[in-house]
Amino acid sequence: MATRTKGKLATDDTTLHYLDDDAKKALTNRLARLEGHIRFLRGMVEKHRCADEILLQVAAVKAAINQFSAALLDHELKACMKSCMEGGADERLDKVTKVLSTLLKQS
């Protein structure tokens, strides 16, 4: 029987991964840039910068998050569906549909 653990599907004899090293590096680099954007935003607030300047940076952060999501969708979702999502094809499609719906509502 398979069990799910953070991005992996562990089976009795193997663990399947969907993020190869290059993809993981590219995604973590995007996240590191996002962290930098967030720290910059915090600094802007602490320095009492104008709201319009802060809001422009918020828009940049939102765009970066959307780009991260698009990269994850584009390169990894199919592999994830095959390797770490449990259930039949219809169940996996339902999971993906729900995640995409939530993602789009947040954009």
Residue keyed to tokens 């039949």 = 88
Total domains, the chain: 1
Nearest to 5 by CA among 96, 95, 93, 85: 85
The DSSP output letter for 5 is E
Give the structural domain span for 10.
3-106
At residue 75, does pLDDT exceed 50? yes
Evaluate if residue 97 carries a pLDDT over 90. Answer: no
User: According to the model, what pLDDT value does residue 53 have?
Assistant: 96
> Distances in Å between the alpha carbon of 66 and those of 24, 60, 61, 62?
17, 10, 9, 6
Place of tokens 């590096």: 25
Provide the CATH number for the domain around residue 92.
1.20.58.1000
Q: Which of 53, 68, 78 is nearest to 106 (CA)?
A: 68
Distance between CA atoms of residues 9 and 66, nearest Å: 26
Measured distance CA(38)–CA(46) in Å, rounded: 12
Rank 1-10, 59-68, 72-81 by mean pLDDT and report only the highest: 59-68
